[in-house]
Amino acid sequence: MYSVLRPLLFSLEAERAHGMTLRSLEAVHRAGLGGLVATRPAPLLTKLLGLEFPNPVGLAAGLDKNGAHIDALMGLGFGFVEVGTVTPRPQAGNPQPRMFRLPKHQAVINRLGFNNDGVDVLVRNVERAQRKGHALLGINIGKNKDTPNDFAEGDYLHCLERVYPLADYVTVNMSSPNTAGLRELQEEQALRRLVSTLREAQERLGAQHGKRVPMLVKIAPDLSDDDIEAAGRVLGDLQVDGVIATNTTVSRLAVQDDPKARETGGLSGAPLMDKSTAVLRMLRTRLPESIPLIGVGGIMSGPDAVKKTAAGANLVQLYTGLVYRGPVLVGECVDAMRRRKEAPSRGTLPPDE
């Protein structure tokens, strides 16, 4: 079905098509016709973070910032769905237009800027979701644009406290390129300060609610080797539950021939694959084996998902690949990862991979 609808969606401005896609998915779900959109893949149970994922392919944050379409998105066959990024207070984000397709490169540039309705709205939406598809729910938290970095921990703490009882896991986003100064929080001392504060809060909330919700940190693909080394050291020392690698990139080297390459914002899609996977691979060698990795960035096919696992990812996430391939990509990635898992020996890929 998506192959039929894609030309229509691509004829619309990118952010408008984004909204239309979510509304259409919601309508189809409410009508009980989700099977027309996607076929749920056979389970590929993955135990990680003290949780059991129906399959290791998830939806990356950014598609459903307010958690308003959780059930419809879970119906696409994901093993987990991550909503957000959400901030304490509502904010409009950056001026439009702020999302651009680069079809020649199977890429998207966005400078949305954490546009969302605030954490209280997201909490109400999550509370209303039925979550019957057995997929797990991650909630991605950030800071408001007008909150100085010196006070960022207050924003993250507020969001963590509000979403903690509802999330299967929480992701701390300090790596978006679209909020001025946000990536400075990844500098070693700032990272240690912020994550240490959040880890203390996580343990306190675990005792308060009688359950321990895993907390992951999402990092940028544009870190230097020294920065990756430092991030691995800090996140390992503080024993975070997991790391998501990576967010979008500000680099334009892979798309410099495209007229839209001059647009500011984060680049995602196929051109991000090599860069994000290199960071993933470096992190795997610098983090304790006990800290799992989620690989995201540039997955456009089943073999791409397998490359992420070969580089050290325990789970993977999709977003821009859905724009170009549609929901069929979910099952394709699950099946490719299943074949890798069933291969006779570690490191041996099936012939079609």
* pLDDT tens digits, one per residue of 163-173: 999 999 999 99
- Of 19-23, 124-128, 298-302, which gets the smallest average pLDDT? 19-23
Q: What is the mean pLDDT of residues 273-292?
A: 96
Residue 1 is predicted with a pLDDT of 66
Q: What is the mean pLDDT of residues 131-150?
A: 93
Query: For the chain, how far is it from start to end, CA to CA, in angstroms?
Result: 26
Q: What is the mean pLDDT of residues 70-90?
A: 96
- Chain-wide mean pLDDT for the chain? 93
Quick check: is 176 catalytic? yes
Residue 84's pLDDT band, with cuts at 50, 70 and 90, is very high
Compute the distance between CA of residue 76 and CA of residue 342 in angstroms, rounded to an integer.
Answer: 24
- One-character DSSP codes across 266-293: EEEEGGGHHHHHHHHHHHHHHS-TTS-E
* pTM, full prediction: 0.94
Every domain of the chain and the residues it spans: 2-337
Residue 140 is predicted with a pLDDT of 98
Paired residues of 100 in beta bridges: 109
Q: What is the mean pLDDT of residues 129-142?
A: 92
CATH of range 2-337; options 3.30.470.20, 3.60.15.10, 1.10.3290.10, 3.20.20.70: 3.20.20.70
Percent of the chain scored above 90 by pLDDT?
Answer: 84
- pLDDT for residue 292 is more than 80: yes
Neighbours of 124 (CB within 10 A): 13
- Cβ partners under 8 Å of residue 153, min gap 6: 193, 194, 197, 198
Looking at 176, 196, 251, 301, which residue is catalytic?
Answer: 176
218-234 exposure pattern, b = at least 16 Cβ within 10 A, e = fewer: bbbbbbeeebbbbbbeb
- pLDDT for residue 344 is more than 70: no
pLDDT, one tens digit per residue, over 199-224 is: 999 999 999 999 999 999 999 999 99
Percent of the chain scored above 70 by pLDDT?
Answer: 97
Q: What is the mean pLDDT of residues 249-255?
A: 96
* Residue pair 299/305 in contact by the 8 Å Cβ criterion: yes
